[in-house]
Structure 1
């Protein structure tokens, strides 16, 4: 294992805390078929990728896919299936990251019901390696689901935690602390919308946080702006893809809101 990969694995492994499991998030807004577009920009404002989000529903089961195609040829492709039966429950998640934008390619799958976790990696000789293992996964596992959960919590909700399976070392379970920040206005293509801002914080112990800062691999908080109303929408996401690396801003294309 390369030094950088080893350090990331150590950090994710030691983030597993003793926090109590969160209460399930109740379904307040039934998720329906949807098709929207995003644009991703670097910290200096340059457009680096275009994003496409699609969602289909069959009964109480919803499948959504979010794909970013980068100008350098890189791909970030995540497909998530979940059930909305009073509360949200992950069914499966498949996340792929590849190309020069990403320091470490990812091909990571989760089958929540069986606890099957599959990692596919390619060695320096181009050979594919598959690792499959069983894990005891929490009911509040939120891979690919965090944005959907934020559409269903009130703006004055108390901070809550969800589980996340990080795609390192064959899968490392961590906790995310989600907190409402404030209400702000969001400007999309010259129009103004009211949004609630949420902070998603990977919980690290004090010593692990110090180590992470020293080696430059501390996962940063993710900020999410959620448009309010009868049909809320994730408008802006600012954070790292994959938990480390460059910070990008992903904005909803305003025309996606026009129905």
Structure 2
């Protein structure tokens, strides 16, 4: 509960009415089924993942699930459209189990503007249920940041927003910045990839409250068929550094 209280305060101090532009579609998304792995920074396998993406009419459904060895579950579902620009239509997240200090199940829908959050500060706490309405700007991209990086013009940075559940939903700006090229090993193949940094834009005073936020790093293969290669960072606020890759 302490981590969410600090985050809520930081986001309140960082409130800003200026919105960025939605990201234009350069590479459309299609059917995909893959099995990512989540590891500690030391290489220990923590969870087996499954990624399923299916186009349905004018939208695309994307679901990423990690099932941890300790019984924890991370389950993220995103529905988005990709006509000219990417638009988040709905979002659901479940985080529960001993790998997560707080348990949360949240959903938000653009069409209705409604959200619902079920939250427990720890396993012994009573469940809190929050319901209400929130207006989603066109640049909100929960669960889609890696996809956006594949579509960003080379060498350019962009600012988008995500919904942070504190547990009440709040909007926070995220700066996506290309930070150089690295060689990433994909099996026995050495691949040159762009390393992106993802940084929350908390503002000066808010940054003083959470000055030790780690960098989130994402490696993207460029070219005519760009691809996500690797992620390194926390999956939740003030969480440990974890890695996601395909090996």
Q: What is the CA distance between 1:125 and its match in structure 2?
A: 5.8
Q: Which residue of the partner structure matches residue 154 of structure 1?
A: 153
State the alpha-carbon separation in 2 of the partners of residues 219 and 104 from structure 1.
18
Matched, 1:89 2:93: no
SS at match of 1:149: helix
SS at match of 1:151: helix
Matched, 1:39 2:37: yes
For residues 208-250 of structure 1, give each alpha carbon's deviation from its aligned partner in whole angstroms, at most 9, with x where no partner exists: 212223xxxx543211101123322111011111232101011
Q: How does 1:46-85 map to 2 (within 5 A)?
A: 46-85=44-83
State the alpha-carbon separation in 2 of the partners of residues 194 and 37 from structure 1.
22
Aligned length: 246
- TM-score, normalisation: structure 1: 0.88
Question: Which range is displaced more, 101-110 or 220-229?
Answer: 220-229
Q: How does 1:1-259 map to 2 (within 5 A)?
A: 2-18=1-17, 20-122=18-120, 128-156=127-155, 158-213=156-211, 218-253=212-247
Q: What is the CA distance between 1:89 and its match in structure 2?
A: 0.4
Q: Which residue of the partner structure matches residue 257 of structure 1?
A: none
Coordinate RMSD, CA, aligned: 1.8
Q: What is the CA distance between 1:188 and its match in structure 2?
A: 1.4
8 Å contact kept, 1:202–1:221 = no
State the alpha-carbon separation in 2 of the partners of residues 143 and 54 from structure 1.
16
State the alpha-carbon separation in 1 of the partners of residues 118 and 111 from structure 2.
20
8 Å contact kept, 1:97–1:105 = yes
8 Å contact kept, 2:104–2:120 = no
Unaligned stretches of 5+ residues in structure 1: 254-259
For residues 105-160 of structure 1, give each alpha carbon's deviation from its aligned partner in whole angstroms, at most 9, with x where no partner exists: 1111110222212101247667544211111221111111111111111332x221
State the alpha-carbon separation in 1 of the partners of residues 153 and 193 from structure 2.
12
State the alpha-carbon separation in 2 of the partners of residues 103 and 122 from structure 1.
9
Question: Which range is displaced more, 54-63 or 113-122?
Answer: 113-122
- TM-score, normalisation: structure 2: 0.92
8 Å contact kept, 2:116–2:131 = yes
SS at match of 2:10: helix
State the alpha-carbon separation in 2 of the partners of residues 84 and 107 from structure 1.
26
State the alpha-carbon separation in 2 of the partners of residues 44 and 225 from structure 1.
18
Q: What is the CA distance between 1:25 and its match in structure 2?
A: 1.2
Unaligned stretches of 5+ residues in structure 2: none
State the alpha-carbon separation in 1 of the partners of residues 34 and 202 from structure 2.
34
